[in-house]
Amino acid sequence: MKLSKKAITALSFTLGASLFISTAFADTLLGSGYDRLKGSAKNTAAQMEKGLNNYTIDTLLTLKGNDQILFQTTTSKKIDTTKQASEETTVTQDSEGKSSSNYSYSDKKQSVWKNGVDNKYYVTEYPDDAARGSRSVFTNPFNEKGAPEIEKIVDAVVGGLKDYVQVEERPDGGKAYSGSLSEAQVPAVVNAVSSYGIQQLIRDQSRMEKNAKMTDIESDIFVKKVVGTAVENKAGILENVTGNILLSGKDKNGAQHDLTINVVVKLSGVGNTKITLPDLKGASVETVNQSGGLTSKYVGTYKNNIIMEKDGKLVKIGERTFEITSVENGKVAGKYYETVKPGFEANYPDKYNFNFEYNSSSTKSLSTFTYKNAKGEQENGQVHENGPGKIYVDLNTEIINNNSYRSSNRPNFDGQFSRVFEE
């Protein structure tokens, strides 16, 4: 199942910024240092999935505009691969200094989720036949479908940057990596992607946070500097990774502004991380059906953009709309449709438009709905809650058994939808 595990503001902002800074940091680490670091990253990911019995991952992501904090999120996630359990706490600060928090716990038999808005615990209990014990609490990203192809593309795009990393042997047998890029060394393709990405992030954050004090840069956006470090222990495990990106751009009046993205990731507590089920005695608790986790509060309209590449640029050619019209007595109903801008019909010819209805069942691990695609063929789909204000939709799914499925989405399909709130 595809999941994004972050709250609405933190989700859209953190994911985009994390992807952005990860790409830029990877660009700096080429040559022999790059190969060694990539090998260490792969080994670390493999051990986190199978090998390290338990551990803690702490992340800090900060966005600053002209030295003022616009957004900051801190996440601490504990993982126990032996017990198939995890526990996560996230604290987010907006541009006005207001903080919000989210908490989640999950094991083989249940999951617990709580946000700081309604101060309520949402609890889902799973039946014995839900095959929760066969799931992985951490999935190695290098084993994901398409990962080798993405790795080759990144290597090819930044293949000319060979000597901008230093590798130092540490006295304890580990290694320390460091790399940097100046404005003149940043590839043009990175600037192009960065320009689109940062503008999208600013728009999303401004829409989600009504009084956001965002730096509204919209033109001549480029990366001025990238700095990254990583520390590897003697066992070949990355324990600390940091990255800093300095961008610059102009607002609609031509004024120059700087944006700084900083990320810190630490791996600690290997072998001595303890995960504890929260004490729910006396707390406000709501039981959520495990098949999708949707309750009546998710009734509403959700949208995302249909985006394609044209003439070397990313262009919005339409919108996807997913409406949840009712959630009552375990029955979920709604409709889905796609609209395409005039002139782009040939680029997106097979628009989907259907109604759906399904019954959530506490005796099954998967609940799906059926629909007919643009050619009149019947397919299966799924919808899952994805944090406050977000859902994730899978279309054209193939049910493998009662507990698993695979999805073959169309090109350019985006399954993450954001709620449209009325002002």
pLDDT at 70: 85
Residues contacting residue 247 through CB under 8 Å, at least 6 positions apart: 194, 198, 221, 222, 223, 224, 258, 259, 260, 261
Residue 85 to residue 288: CA distance in whole angstroms: 19
What is the three-class DSSP state of 205?
helix
Please classify residue 103 by burial: count the beta carbons closer than 10 Å to its beta carbon, then call 0-12 exposed, 13-18 middle and 19+ buried: middle
- Residue range 290-349, pLDDT digits in tens: 555 678 889 999 999 999 888 878 899 999 999 999 988 778 999 999 999 999 998 888
pTM over 0.75: no
Does 266 score more than 60 pLDDT?
A: yes
Does 58 score more than 70 pLDDT?
A: yes
- Residue range 252-265, pLDDT digits in tens: 888 888 888 899 99
Q: Where are the alpha helices (DSSP H) in 63-187?
A: 147-157
Phi, psi at 156, each rounded to 5°: -70, -40
Q: Residue 355 — very low, low, confident or very high, per pLDDT cuts 50/70/90?
A: very high
- Residue range 199-248, pLDDT digits in tens: 777 666 665 555 556 667 778 888 888 888 999 999 999 999 998 888 88
Cα of 170 vs its chain's centroid, Å: 33
Residue 319 to residue 371: CA distance in whole angstroms: 19
Does 83 score more than 70 pLDDT?
A: yes
Domain ranges of the chain: 5-287, 296-419
- Residue range 390-419, pLDDT digits in tens: 888 988 887 654 444 566 667 778 888 999
Tell me which of 323 and 107 has the higher pLDDT. 323
Residues contacting residue 226 through CB under 8 Å, at least 6 positions apart: 24, 25, 27, 28, 179, 180, 181, 186, 243, 244, 245, 246
Q: Residue 60 — very low, low, confident or very high, per pLDDT cuts 50/70/90?
A: very high
pLDDT at 10: 37
Residue 278: in which H helix or E strand, if any? none
pLDDT at 144: 78
Mean pLDDT, rounded, of the chain: 79
